[in-house]
């Protein structure tokens, strides 16, 4: 069932790649290719992992808001839009020099959408649906203010005691988005806003040390809301034949 859903969601993207290849050799006013960069915020709660952490006072619960940056490409043919992206996110909860927790992730995605406005319009509104893969690292740092520097130098036990506790998770997920964009007057670029949701297909166990799962390890499901401000630059393949100077 998952494989079938994967194929169905990716069919529009494959079609867009084929269409883009057919029209890349000559100028087509309805076909554009652009690159983008974005900044944004995401909201994500890993309730089951946090519920375990709350039982131990030496640790701080994970942050629930994540700052993100990303890069990617947007291909448009008529009303159809295909997006591919790479995103990284990071957040910290607590005092950097004392007890704190950090949450970071790396993700890739492929989305397909439909522009509700005509290609001749400078404005764009396009809902999207897609698939993604996101890997998370949760790290818990203890307060070391009462630990002696000399004790750490002289004791393997103290060296182990100051090390952070780190867990990992990997989610295969589905995505929904709503994108708003306004092109510049010369149509060389655009500024836009993306709102969306991504959720995992399954609950996954948290692991440690090269994907080793511990007995009774908590399981969580990805359920992330996101908002991104993005900037695009169109590429004129007929003149540049590449991406040099795209930023």
21-41 pLDDT, tens digit per residue, is: 444 444 555 688 999 999 999
> Does a structural domain hold residue 49?
yes
User: Does 92 map to a domain?
Assistant: yes
More confident: 119 or 17: 119
Residue 7, in any domain of the structure: no
Q: Is residue 16 part of a domain?
A: no
Q: Are 226 and 130 in contact (CB under 8 A)?
A: no
Question: How far is 117 from 126, CA to CA, in rounded Å?
Answer: 8
Within-domain flag for 134:
yes
Average pLDDT value over all residues in the chain: 85
106, part of any domain: yes
Does 14 or 52 have the greater pLDDT score? 52
Assign residue 44 the CATH number of its domain. Answer: 2.40.160.20
pLDDT tens for each residue of 207-244: 998 788 889 999 999 999 999 999 999 986 544 444 33
Domain that holds residue 63: 38-235
- Identify whether 176 is part of a domain: yes
Residue 30 has a pLDDT of: 66
pLDDT of 216 reads: 93
Beta-strand relationship, 123-141 and 207-208: unpaired
Q: Distance between CA atoms of 148 and 145, rounded to whole angstroms? A: 8
Beta strands in 115-164 (DSSP E): 123-141
- The pLDDT of residue 153 is above 70: yes
| Separation of CA 125 from chain center | 21
Q: Tell me: the pLDDT tens digits for 83-92?
A: 999 999 999 9
**Which H or E element spans position 3?**
helix 2-23
- State the total domains in the chain: 1
| Mean pLDDT across 55-73 | 94
> Whole-model pTM above 0.85?
no
Residue 221 backbone class (left: φ over 0; alpha: ψ -120 to 50; beta: rest): beta
206 domain-assigned: yes
Residue 198 has pLDDT above 80, yes or no: yes
Torsion of CA 41, 46, 52, 54, to 10 degrees: 30
């Amino acid at each position: 069932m998952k494989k079938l859903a994967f194929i169905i969601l990716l069919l529009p993207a494959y079609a867009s790649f084929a269409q883009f290849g057919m029209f890349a050799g000559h100028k087509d006013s309805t076909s554009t290719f652009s690159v983008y960069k974005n900044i944004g915020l995401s909201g994500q709660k890993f309730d089951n992992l946090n519920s375990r952490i709350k039982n131990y006072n030496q640790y701080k619960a994970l942050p629930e808001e994540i700052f993100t940056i990303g890069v990617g490409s947007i291909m448009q043919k008529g009303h159809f839009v295909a997006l591919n992206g790479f995103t990284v996110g990071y957040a910290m909860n607590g005092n950097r020099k004392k007890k704190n927790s950090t949450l970071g992730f790396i993700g890739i995605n492929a989305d397909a959408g439909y522009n509700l406005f005509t290609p001749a319009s400078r404005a764009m509104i396009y809902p999207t649906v897609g698939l993604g893969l996101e890997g998370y690292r949760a790290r818990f740092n203890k307060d070391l203010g009462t630990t002696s520097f000399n004790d750490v130098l002289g004791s393997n036990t103290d060296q182990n005691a100051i090390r952070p506790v780190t867990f990992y998770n990997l989610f295969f997920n589905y995505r929904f988005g709503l994108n708003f964009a306004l092109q510049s007057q010369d149509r060389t670029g655009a500024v836009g806003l993306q709102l969306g949701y991504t959720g995992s297909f399954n609950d996954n166990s948290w692991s440690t040390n090269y994907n080793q799962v511990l007995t009774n390890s908590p399981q969580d499901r990805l359920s992330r809301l996101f908002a991104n401000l993005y900037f695009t630059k169109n590429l004129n393949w007929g003149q540049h034949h590449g991406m040099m100077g795209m930023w």
